[in-house]
Amino acid sequence: MNHIPQKGWPGLRSNFPEGSTKWAVRRAQWRALGIEPDDMTKPKIAVVNSSSTLSSCYSHLDDLSRHVQESIRGAGGLAFEIRTVAPSDFVTSAGRDARYLMPSRDLIVNDIEVMVEGALLDGMVCLSSCDKTTPAHLMAACRLNIPTILVIGGYQDWGSCGGLAIDIDDVYESVGALATATMSLKQLTARTDCAISSAGVCSGLGTANTMHIMAEALGMALPGSAPIRATGTRMRELAAQAGIQILDLVRDNLKPRDIVTAAALCNAVTVCVGVGGSVNAVRHLSAVATEAELNLDVIACFEQAGREVPLVAAIRPNGPHRISDLEAAGGARAVMTQLRQYLDTTVTTVTSRPLGDQLNAGHIDETVIRPCADPISIRGGLAILRGTIAPGGAIVKTAGVAIPEGVFAGPALVFDSEADAIAGLGDGRVMEGTVVILRGLGPRGGPGTVFAAGFASALVGAGLADKVALVTDGELSGLNRGIVVGQVMPEAADGGPLAYIDNDDRIVINLAEGALDVDVDAEELTRRRNSRAIHLAPAPRGWLSIYRALVQPIEVGATLVENTSEDHD
């Protein structure tokens, strides 16, 4: 599919034979846009922009896109802006109980394929902002395998309310305080008025900032990219650098699958565990590996890293430091420098140089990013649990959990929707010592992974985060903290054991042993499985119905069923 450029720009796949139909009709279109004939033979670069005025996560990307396009043109390329879906976890989660969120990731991937592969462009610069865009851009890069760089959209500024620093995480958790009458609607409203004071993604170490860091750890973003303030000049400088560097990648024919190798993915897992990143990174990195056609068990990588890699940073919601502190302390590059002994530093990055050449750069504030010899914890910030509930694994953010002796056990209280669980919190059914089971909310069960994150945050607001556990196959937020176990595999809709748990079954969460079990004998579980049919929630006509028919198990990242009839170059 790709051709290796020689000196200058010959051999670009976007340069069609003169006189051909493709050449003639495209030339007519582009002349109408004012593109000069001499520019039409230059490298043609897609600037993938998910700008939207629906959400502050994306409201600044048009300006960023202009900087990238100008830089590409200045470096001798031809820039084309490509628009995609722009899902926001706090805005487009409103419809159908957030079922559109997870499927939107794969919609973006296919959106990019249609526009970039359909036009046979030569490279991409992807503007990555909210939760689903960064993994989608990484997945699309690996699928199309044309030179690509991710430009990080950056985090938002927070505000102040009543003399207290307030961000979106505080707003999210305050809903639980309202549900239990420990906060008034007036107080909650006041917090919503001031929690966000600029464009950008959530200011905690949620999924967006985690995946920004993953992009740099994978080598797909320039060094020093993450985390980064959305309103800062440094972000524009990096965007301009990316516009120049993408042309070097096209000239050198350095493609994503040369960068996103098994070793690079293991590096990203190590960094994620070392900072206690979002639990959603597990499914997203699994999906990246699937799109790169790598034979890599990403969940097993997380399992091993959780035992071996120390926790070197405690960023909200895991600890006292803010995401701006992580940036000031040296960011992802400093984290990788501290974790260097656990990384393969020979892997290539979008700089065309080995990762090792980019480490040890600048000052590291070791009060924020600790050395491995003096970590916050000798265990990493994420762990994989397995057992009778999760034979395929489940994920817990250990960086945000405080369980005496590492074991929490209690009776199950089963819900099939987040709304019912929050109602149970308000009416007192959810009590101290309970293990709430939220099931049937996975990719196929939803269809589209349904929110359980709101209930997890509500537990914090209600003061029950360390007294009530949540076990779910639904969608969690990277901002969640407490005794929260997510991504239970297999999901209930695929016949996972979660589907056969009853109220009052004793659930045991054992962090010390990495176990998640139900205290019911195997014979009884088999009887329940054989006597109970799994009834899937109706799938509305449209994208969600298509998604259910195509989605693969979450173990491979909940990607869509692959086409094996044709391989990408």
Distance of alpha carbon 216 from alpha carbon 63, whole angstroms: 22
What is the distance between the alpha carbons of residues 486 and 190, in angstroms, rounded to a whole number?
A: 31
Q: What does the pLDDT read at residue 403?
A: 83
Given a cut of 70, the residues of the chain with pLDDT beneath it are: 1-8, 361, 563-569
* DSSP secondary structure string for all residues of 504-553: T-EEEEETTTTEEEESS-HHHHHHHHHH----PPPPPTTHHHHHHHHBPP
CA nearest neighbour of 409 among 307, 317, 319, 509:
509
Residues across the chain: 569
Within 10 Å of residue 70's Cβ, how many Cβ atoms? 14
**pLDDT for position 155:** 95
What phi, psi does 290 have (nearest 5°)?
Answer: -65, -45
SS3 content of the chain, % helix, strand, coil (to 5): 40, 15, 45
Rounded-to-integer distance, Cα 341 and Cα 386, Å = 28
Q: Is 97 left (phi over 0), alpha (psi -120 to 50) or beta?
A: left
CB atoms within 10 A of CB 521: 10
- What pLDDT does residue 563 have? 58
First vs last C-alpha separation in the chain: 5
Burial (CB < 10 A; 0-12, 13-18, 19+), residue 430, is buried
Among the listed residues 502, 290, 518, the one whose alpha carbon sits nearest the alpha carbon of residue 394 = 518
The residue from 55, 71, 457, 477 that is catalytic is 477
CB 378 within 8 Å of CB 453: no
pLDDT on residue 90: 87
The token duo for 67 is: 């900087």
pLDDT in tens, 304-349: 999 999 999 999 989 999 999 999 999 999 999 999 999 999 999 9
CA–CA separation, 144 and 118 (whole Å): 11
pTM of the model: 0.94
Q: What is the dihedral of CA 487, 517, 417, 281, to 10 degrees?
A: -10
Q: How many CB atoms lie within 10 A of CB 374?
A: 9
477 assigned to active site:
yes
pLDDT at 4: 39
pLDDT tens for 179-190 read 888 899 999 999
Q: What is the pLDDT of residue 361?
A: 65
Nearest partner of 47 among 59, 63, 29, judged by Cα: 63
What is the rounded CA–CA span in Å between residue 56 and residue 207?
16
Q: Spell out a b/e string for 98-123, using b for 16 or more CB atoms within 10 Å of the CB, else e.
A: bbbbbbbbbbbbbbbeebbbeebbbb
